[in-house]
Structure 1
Amino acid sequence: MLGMTERKLLAEGSSPWLLEPVSNGRDLAQAVNDNRAALESRLLEHGALLFRGFDVSSVGGFEAFAHAISAHQSDYVYRSTPRTSIGNGIFTATEYPPSETIALHCENAYQRSWPLRVAFCCLTPAATGGETPIADMREVSRRIGPRILDHFEARQVRYVRHYRRHVDIPWETVFQTSDRSEVAAFCADNGIALEWLDDDTMRTAQVNQGVAYHPVTGERVFFNQAHLFHISNLEASLASSIVSLFGEDRIPRNACHGDGSPFDLADLEQIRRAFRECAITFPWQRGDVLLVDNMRFAHGRNPFEGERKVVVSLLDPYTPDIEGIAGR
């Protein structure tokens, strides 16, 4: 490619495709404009591209890249994690405490619309840890196996959330408004069942896909966040405390099959094991930009120490034509 060298980052298994400038200090947005067709081809082939050594030292440099690689940035509404909007389609990475691990997942796979591509930029790498592991969803899906994939495709996933003051994320943050009528309109437009309970708790429930088909390759992949939303994702003593405090039918977030039947816990463990076994980890370097096909690669976050600043942009919003999802 013009002005860049390229190779596989890691020797074994699925790995990001590494792209580096021939000369130091090259502008990444300009490199994208000079190699657009080739980069699109590489992303389709490899699923994840790591740009390293380019002049990306600020949010502005990353923003220029994001707008060069795609004219369509996604907003982040109906949120599941805390993050701050920096502006112009750029957000902070999920703002969970540094001690916590964020399990591998595909961005917005709990929704009916999601970004086809996600871009990450490391402005400040952590002193220790803080990697953004990724996993090839084709291999994850293979390890999950056809029985579970078929089961999730047929029965889908119901996400149930309860919003209370000072517990989890407030509904005003999730829906990006403090106007209840705007929340009601959003829910009606997106097939989300909404109700206010007697203690001023908001409850939402939505049935979405269990698998999805890549719009270009046609490949079927596991595509949901059941393994994150289900209470078994929490440490056992914490899960028990939450159930004792709120009651099993009013915990902050949970998931089941679309018909309301519970998941097989052994299936959830097999799903989590598949993600863990497929994790690909590499250390961030300052100025790294990682571009992933959101249906080809999941991502997560390792715990870290020290200052860490990673920003993201959600690109190319996509709403598949999926028949059989409740409310469509």
Structure 2
Amino acid sequence: MSAHNDWKPTEVRPDGPERGAEGLRRALAAAGDFGDLLTRAKVVVFRDFQVGEQELDEVMDLLLPNRLAYTHGTSPRTKVAAGNVYTSTEYPSEQTIAMHNELSYSHKWPSRLLFYCATTPGSGGATPVVDGTLWLASLDEKVRDAFAGGIRYAQNLHDGFGLGRSWKQTFETEDRKQVEAFLDEGRFTWNWTSDGGLRMVSPVRPAWIRHPVTGEEVWFNQADHFHPAALGDDIARELAQILPPEELPQSVTLADGSPIPDEYVLHVHDRGLELAVDVDWKQGDLMVIDNVAVGHGRRPYTGDRRVLVAMSD
């Protein structure tokens, strides 16, 4: 697996005295078309521009042409500003967040993600990124064969009181008709439960896809995030031993409905983290990733790490 050492994010630094949004604007002008740069690099990190949080909206206008809401998101976040800016996933600081492509379990996903460091962590807290082509190539043949037919995700979303997220949090609305339209578009099987919750099962989703520009095949799913074997939360793992899969907040199977072996899920989980390149944070730094080409995660940290996220099509 040594090939992963040949890939790393591209770093852009100021080539003059200007900092902040104006310095970044000049650097982008010098770099040419940012879309082309991102496709080639897969991840672009902007170092030492010292962008202030009050300048973030201006910078995002340059890098994310159409910011999206976190519709159908499964992780806990807080919306912190107009223009669809969120906190990064609010899991306990001691936990590792495994590699994933944002919203890859859904029928709509962002093509770009922007990360901004508002507060430097005391220690740790890197955002690891992994080349999806290398991740796919690294998997044992028997694992790839098992996933070749695709996978199916299931979710149980409560109405405000229960395990996991509510459907109102997940879809950022209280309008059932709006949720139903989204699910119909994605060809989910769904029903409202007697207690006001929502049961939804996806159609078969692919385990890997082709990048829309480069044509490279990339690992692109979140089976390990829906599977109890790879959960970092002891309570969640214990819950999975008590409840049947159809009653869990989220679960996943192979396309034919058969269980995904624990060892396959852990193999995928571990290879992603092993191949990842860590991007460390300093206040004012930014990173933009191609959400199809690369997966991302989070290393444990101490201190008051605050990283904000926005998404774009």
Does TM, scored on the shorter chain, surpass 0.5?
yes
How many pairs align? 304
Q: Where does the alignment leave 5 or more consecutive residues of structure 1 unmatched?
A: 1-10, 318-328
Counterpart CA distance in 2 for 1:302 and 1:97 is 11
Q: Which residue of 2 aligns with 1:3?
A: none
Task: Give 1:141-160 correspondences, 5 Å limit.
Answer: 141-145=136-140, 147-153=142-148, 155-160=149-154
| AA in 2 matched with 1:107 | E
TM-score (normalised: structure 1): 0.85
Measured against aligned partners, the alpha-carbon deviations of 1:203-253 in whole angstroms (never above 9, x if no partner) come to 111122211100111011110100111121225953553135543320111
Measured against aligned partners, the alpha-carbon deviations of 1:250-296 in whole angstroms (never above 9, x if no partner) come to 01111112331211333222211210210211421111111111122
Q: Which residue of 1 aligns with 2:298?
A: 301
Q: Does 1:24 align with 2:17?
A: yes
Measured against aligned partners, the alpha-carbon deviations of 1:55-84 in whole angstroms (never above 9, x if no partner) come to 4111x4222222112322222111111212
Counterpart CA distance in 2 for 1:215 and 1:244 is 39
Alpha-carbon shift at residue 150 of structure 1 (Å): 4.8
Counterpart CA distance in 1 for 2:309 and 2:245 is 35
Q: Which residue of 2 aligns with 1:320?
A: none
Counterpart CA distance in 2 for 1:260 and 1:277 is 29
* SS state at 2:111 partner: strand
Counterpart CA distance in 1 for 2:245 and 2:28 is 53
| AA in 1 matched with 2:277 | I
TM-score (normalised: structure 2): 0.88
Counterpart CA distance in 2 for 1:69 and 1:176 is 24
* SS state at 2:273 partner: helix
Q: Root-mean-square deviation (CA), in Å?
A: 2.3
Q: Which residue of 2 aligns with 1:197?
A: 193
Measured against aligned partners, the alpha-carbon deviations of 1:127-183 in whole angstroms (never above 9, x if no partner) come to 122111111112111101455345434x21211111232311111100111232332
| AA in 2 matched with 1:263 | I
In structure 2, relative to structure 1, the CA distance for the partners of 1:80 and 1:22 (3 Å cut) is: same
Counterpart CA distance in 2 for 1:225 and 1:282 is 21
Q: Does 1:117 align with 2:109?
A: no
Contact kept? 1:106, 1:295, Cα under 8 Å: yes
| AA in 2 matched with 1:73 | R
Say which of 33, 42, 63 aligns to 2:37. 42
Counterpart CA distance in 2 for 1:190 and 1:147 is 29
| AA in 1 matched with 2:200 | T
Q: Does 1:188 align with 2:191?
A: no
| AA in 2 matched with 1:276 | L
* SS state at 1:203 partner: strand
Identity %: 28
Q: Which residue of 1 aligns with 2:239?
A: 242
Q: Which residue of 1 aligns with 2:222?
A: 225
Q: Does 1:283 align with 2:280?
A: yes
Counterpart CA distance in 2 for 1:298 and 1:108 is 11
